[in-house]
Structure 1
């Protein structure tokens, strides 16, 4: 029995008439998120990035151009202060540049540097392979089904935008 199963069993002893299925699903999703939340050294190599820092670089790479910090905050589910701190570190490491927006001088545009782009292009395939290993207990159909079910749960919580 996994940790969440043991926790659920303990709660079931205290509340035998309560439906604890939400704990069994949400608890496992949260636990998986925590356990998978840090990219192992073999994935990031000498880049020494946290997952969220890598997500910032990845968002910029996917965008193919500049992004505003507010959009990066939304895409990485971070606070504005956390994004500001991450951007400062990434700029100090030479992975991004920040410049005044050409559209609105009150805004800042964030772009990948060549070094930041190289890191994403090197680390992203390793990240995907690592995540494939995490999901190895599931066959292709089960992975697709899990992805669809999680998307269905997330849809009302995380509207597109």
Structure 2
């Protein structure tokens, strides 16, 4: 779905849903109308963020780690970064090593417990987040601009319910 560039993307999801309904008339394909749109929005949003981060040489996952560190008032352990992002512990280790090598975060031993490694953004890492966050929020605002405040609140609550029902 992420390769479609037409002006009315809702028609794409509707067309896909209709195609599934025709191919499998005995199945209720109604969820495609909702989850297909969520996937489409997520793919478009991710693609947009990837394009914005490309000049910085940072991936979306690396940006997520820097964002978790930038919004924390204190340095974080890797496990704390895992709990505040949607990334695995193994990927956090690799990502933090790459970011440290490029001077975007520092890894240091805890003064209280030398076995614990704490992570925090460098000035360059924090600056990257502070440069890109307003752009990301502006893109998100543009995507939501057609919704009233009440609609946004309702949509957030409905998506919260769907999120709670999704189990891995």
| Short-chain TM bin | 0.7 to 0.9
* Segments ≥4 residues shifted beyond 3 Å: 43-46
1:110-149 to 2 correspondences below 5 Å: 110-149=119-158
Q: Which runs of 5+ in 2 are unaligned?
A: 1-9
Q: Which runs of 5+ in 1 are unaligned?
A: none
In structure 1, which of residues 77, 96, 105 is the aligned counterpart of residue 86 of structure 2?
77
SS state at 1:2 partner = helix
Deviations 1:114-158 (A, max 9, x none): 111122222211110011112233333322221111112223548
Residue 92 of structure 1: aligned partner: 101
Q: Separation in 2 of the partners of 1:45 and 1:12?
A: 39
Which shows bigger deviation, 115-124 or 99-108? 99-108
Corresponding position: 1:29 with 2:29: no
Residue 60 of structure 1: aligned partner: 69
Corresponding position: 1:50 with 2:59: yes
Q: Separation in 2 of the partners of 1:45 and 1:14?
A: 40
Residue 153 of structure 1: aligned partner: 162
Shift of 1:9: 0.8
Q: Compared with structure 1, are the counterparts of its residues 2 and 121 closer, same or farther at alpha carbon in structure 2 (3 Å cutoff)?
A: same
Q: Separation in 2 of the partners of 1:92 and 1:134?
A: 35
TM-score of the aligned structures, taking structure 2 as reference length: 0.81
* Aligned residue pairs, count: 157
